[in-house]
Amino acid sequence: MNILGIETSCDETGVAVYHTTRGLRSHQLYTQAATHAEYGGVVPELASRDHVRKLPWLIDAALDEAGIVAADLDGVAYTRGPGLVGALLVGISTARGLAARLGIPALGVHHLEGHLLAPMLSDNPPPFPFVALLVSGGHSQFIEVLGVGQYRLLGGTIDDATGEAFDKVAKLLDLPYPGGPHLAKLAERGDPLRFKMTRPMVDRPGLDLSFSGLKTQALVQAKKLAVDGRVGDQDAADLAAAFEHTVAETLFIKCKRALAETGLTRLVMAGGVAANLRLRARLAQLDAELFYPPLAYCTDNGAMIAYAGAQRIHAGQADEGYPGPRPRWPL
Ligand code: KG4
Ligand code: ZN
């Protein structure tokens, strides 16, 4: 089966074709980062308009790259939520129109299921069951994954998501949007041990996370260091490194706990922050088998939606009626 996947939940327009036996056939992505950069964050209305502009072209390009035409498709999967409602609607209506025209099933997919299953697109896919640490701009959760659709939430952030904290600290250091990767780059030439930061919630039992206090620690430190409202270059690098180091240490402790509590030995790290190399290096020291999505499929993309949709459509699932977008949707 050839399944088209469409992702438009936030500021990336992603389209891909996944074949249920031959694997990923194509992957097209347009990132709107430049559109939103001057506002320092995603502007929902601009995101919707950009999806409208780019999506038809990306679908054509994904079909071309896969060497097929629309009539060769057997199903269309799209991100139904969570995400920005206007952005989601663009993907939903496009997917559904295309499926109706072709007389094939359409299926709304959970964005986080896409992230969770993205490691399946790697050369070394994790066997079930595993613990997933999902760390993105909108979510930070530990999930026990027993199979496709069999998920148990173990814990999550009580305030900011990990990527959100990266982005906010990056912003206070005057780094461009989206801040996470820029902060990671700056941190490479910083001393992670110059500023001591408290690791949030590690002394409390359980698997909940919190990042807003850590962000405040960075803010207080930045204010102390600022001269004429600006943090000097090496100071900023040291602060970035300390923040990143503290996030990595905190997640290391929590991952160890998640593995111990579930008795599982495989850990999957997914979502945009899974691209962070310091975090990867630290988690590699866990006594567990570690899995990641390929770097290109850590951040939002159509391939993970095509994959998750393909598993479900292959099993006979399809939308019933015309389900609407779910901007907030627990997994
Ligand atoms: O999964 P994603 O593309 O979108 C959401 O579903 O949220 O994740 C985007 C988040 C942003 O906060 C971005 O700053 C962060 O992932 N991110 C990183 C890195 N690359 C992306 N954070 C830290 N280090 C990175 N290398
Ligand atoms: Zn995402």
State ipTM. Answer: 0.98
**Ligand 1, atom nearest to 115 Cα:** 1
Q: 238 near 286, Cβ under 8 Å?
A: no
Ion ligand 2: protein residues whose beta carbon lies under 5 Å? 136, 300
Which ligand neighbours the alpha carbon of 137 most closely? 1
Tell me, using a 6 A CB cutoff, whether residue 167 lines ligand 1: yes
Tell me, using a 6 A CB cutoff, whether residue 166 lines ligand 1: yes
**Ligand 1, atom nearest to 299 Cα:** 3
pLDDT per position as a tens digit, 81-116: 999 999 999 999 999 999 999 999 999 999 999 999
Confidence at residue 40, expressed as pLDDT on a 0 to 100 scale: 87
The binding site for Fe cation consists of 111, 115, 300
What residue ranges do the domains of the chain occupy?
A: 2-117+298-314, 128-292
Average pLDDT value for residue range 317-327:
96
What class, spelled out in words, does domain 2-117+298-314 have in CATH?
alpha beta
Tell me, using a 6 A CB cutoff, whether residue 163 lines ligand 1: yes
Which ligand neighbours the alpha carbon of 7 most closely? 2
Confidence at residue 277, expressed as pLDDT on a 0 to 100 scale: 95
The binding site for substrate consists of 134-138, 167, 180, 276
Average pLDDT value for residue range 64-71:
98
Q: Which residues of 182-195 are buried (b: 16+ CB within 10 A; e: fewer)?
A: bbbebbeebebeeb
Confidence at residue 109, expressed as pLDDT on a 0 to 100 scale: 98
pLDDT over threshold 90, residue 178:
no
Tell me, using a 6 A CB cutoff, whether residue 138 lines ligand 1: yes
Average pLDDT value for residue range 171-198:
95
Structural domain 128-292, CATH architecture: 2-Layer Sandwich (3.30)
